[in-house]
């Protein structure tokens, strides 16, 4: 039974690691889109602030877990090599921005849920950040 519990914990840590990366990557692409393609200073600043908030929450999460990189297993990750057609299509800067905000929102939801599974206090931070990301998406739809 202990072996199964350790495997489950390692799986949770892998999910947290992957989603931390996913969120920061999505927010970085969104930020660069706002900065370089849309030339929107206000949106760029908001996205940068959000990304830094994620980095702070991530630092608190991993400071107490101390097992980030040993849990990582890129070579055996079953989610590598996404072949979705939609992944290859980005018809405009707004589509690119929206797709990456969605990516960040999904990752934040996973971070929230997996943090709850570990009874980690950052779950509330990830929830707050997810809603901030929703508000940014609303802002660009206007």
Query: What average pLDDT does the segment 115-124 reach?
Result: 96
pTM: 0.85
| Residue 77 in domain | no
pLDDT in tens, 101-110: 999 999 999 9
Determine, yes or no, domain membership for 83.
no
Total domains in the fold of the chain: 1
Residue 90: is its pLDDT beyond 80?
A: no
Residue 47 domain-assigned (yes or no): yes
SS (H, E, C) the chain: CHHHHHHHHHHHHHHHHHHHHHHHHHHHHHHHHHHHHCCCHHHHHHHHHHHHHHHHHHHHHHHHHCCHHHHCCCCCCCCCCCCCHHHHCCCCHHHHHHHHHHHHHHHHHHHHHHHHHCCCCHHHHHHHHHHHHHHHHHHHHC
31 occurs within a structural domain: yes
Range of the domain at 95: 2-68+90-141
Q: pLDDT for 29-51, tens place per residue?
A: 999 999 999 999 999 999 999 99
82 occurs within a structural domain: no
């Amino acid at each position: 039974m202990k072996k199964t519990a350790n495997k489950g914990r390692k799986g949770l840590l892998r999910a947290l690691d992957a989603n931390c990366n996913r969120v920061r990557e999505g927010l970085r692409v969104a930020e660069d889109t706002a900065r370089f393609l849309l030339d929107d200073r206000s949106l760029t600043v908001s996205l940068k602030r959000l990304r830094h908030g994620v980095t702070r929450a991530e630092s608190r999460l991993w400071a107490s877990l101390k097992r980030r990189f040993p849990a990582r297993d890129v070579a055996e990750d079953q989610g590598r090599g996404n072949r979705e057609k939609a992944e290859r299509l980005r018809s405009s800067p707004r589509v690119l921005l929206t797709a990456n905000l969605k990516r960040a929102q999904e990752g934040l939801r996973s971070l929230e849920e997996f943090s709850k599974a570990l009874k980690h206090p950052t779950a509330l931070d990830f929830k707050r950040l997810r809603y901030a990301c929703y508000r940014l998406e609303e802002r660009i739809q206007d």
